[in-house]
Structure 1
Amino acid sequence: MSTTTLDPERQRTTTVRASVEKPRRKGVFSGGALTTLTWVLALIFFAPVAWMVMTSFKQENVAASNPPAFFFEPTLDQYKAVISSDAGPYFLNSLIATGVSTLLVILLAIPASYALSIRPVKRTNDVLFFFISTKMLPVVAVIMPIYVISGQLRALDSIWTLVILYTAMNLPIAVWMMRSFFQEVPGEVLEAASMDGAGLIKTLRSVLIPMVTPGIAATALICVIFSWNEFFFALNLTAAKAATVPVFLMSQMTSEGLFLAQLSAASVLASLPVVLAGWLAQKQLVRGLSMGAVK
């Protein structure tokens, strides 16, 4: 009785083919289940925003009803009340503080991030740690010296005080973000620009900045969000002249009571500028936030 022995190479091929053809085990979540779970979580997080928008179209008695009213006659009275109030100066102050501080942050962060990424020095890591360490200090711990210094300089209730503070607040984050974007620029591009006789300013203006424009847009949008929503400095360092939108929203809570519908309408109007800015820059934002993610 003879025994047939398989060729070793053929046996190895058969084993590999069997392992490949073996059905893969599905993970805990399949594609459809993971998509459904993502949508459920997104709707849960979006529910308060949707409720705020819906409340802004109610009358005050309907907004304060218990149980809540889901079916009602929509009205624009709350938006008319907010627009006809003295909300204009608050929005103008927020626009100035946010726009000017974001512009200053970008102008300062571009050369700083270039120096820390393209031409690093011996103490680059120490400089980066110093930048980010300024974000570890609670804002409430520095409000007293800032208030005293601003008072001595007669800079209280000044929009330019907020511009300086917002610039200092957002600059560390901007430097860290833009440094990762500059590190994605191939070294060969800089070498080619140097061989063509381009100096530092021309290299920045004509080569680097066009390549990292999505990153600059993403950084600017994050600075806009942080500055527009900032409340603590605006509350403690401003009064009547330089108060911003978050202070205006707090002023809707009076001793006469909490007007939910009007507060919701004011909150929707206060959120629109940032939402529109994010919607207009969404392509640049997605590209910018993904530039430094994968090497």
Structure 2
Amino acid sequence: MQNLGYYNGKYDLIENMMIPMTDRVHWFGDGVYDATCARNYQIMELKAHIDRFFNSAKALNINLGFDKEYLADLLQELVHKLDEGDLFVYWQVTRGGNGFRSHSYDSEVKANLWITITPEKVTKIDKKFKLTMMEDKRYQYCNIKTLNLIPSVLAAQFAKEKNCDETVFHRGNIVTECAHSNIHILKDGKLITHPADEYILPGIARANLIKVCHALNIEVEERPFTLEELFAADEIIVSSSGDLCNSAYELDGKAIGGKDEKTLSKIQKYIADKWLKD
């Protein structure tokens, strides 16, 4: 198959799949999701992504109706139905209880499981990002991967229209994350990253970046950092499931980073050797 769509046990090409109008996603975006990439049919960091997915569902009181092992086995089974092995693997649940529109719900009804799998390659580690920024006006549930992504959609479009790769969010003077990535800085040989609180998504690539730094004896500070620190950083790193550790060279027309390529290259080589080798 060139791509795959799945809904509650049925699967086909995505363009052939139909979702009931009574699914609560249409009215409320009532659900959570997670996503990662597969290389050579092997899903990257699957356990960590599934753990985060279950945490998101629990935070919204969604009755999944299946366990982690079932989901892992299903995803691994479905990726092997694709014609090629470098893939974007996405899954979500929407709250069960299909029916006419009602804000309240029956917490005993099992969720609806969606999966889509499409060809996609992980971004090359040496690609450098051009950034822009905007005020972070999102609510304080950024740590939950809900389906309500309008602020991120607007921020991604903002970047696209400015011919940039990502939009950096900030709350006042504090940098939080990007439209669909985490952001970190290197300064004086240390990695500085916003703490995993309600203002950012606890990215799996972010967690791996921290582990890599520990393995390389690079000090890590999990603390908020400012816009001034961002502009003055030795290097700026953007990370996500598809962009594992990419540096940035420009932010709103100003040159940034490029002052500690030795440390950056050490981190990127470790990540490339572990996750990106054929």
Q: Same fold (TM over 0.5)?
A: no
Structure with larger RCO (C-alpha < 8 A, sep 6+): 1
Which is higher, the Rg of structure 1 or of structure 2? 1
Question: What is the TM-score of this pair, normalised by structure 2?
Answer: 0.23
Structure with higher strand content: 2
Structure with higher helix content: 1
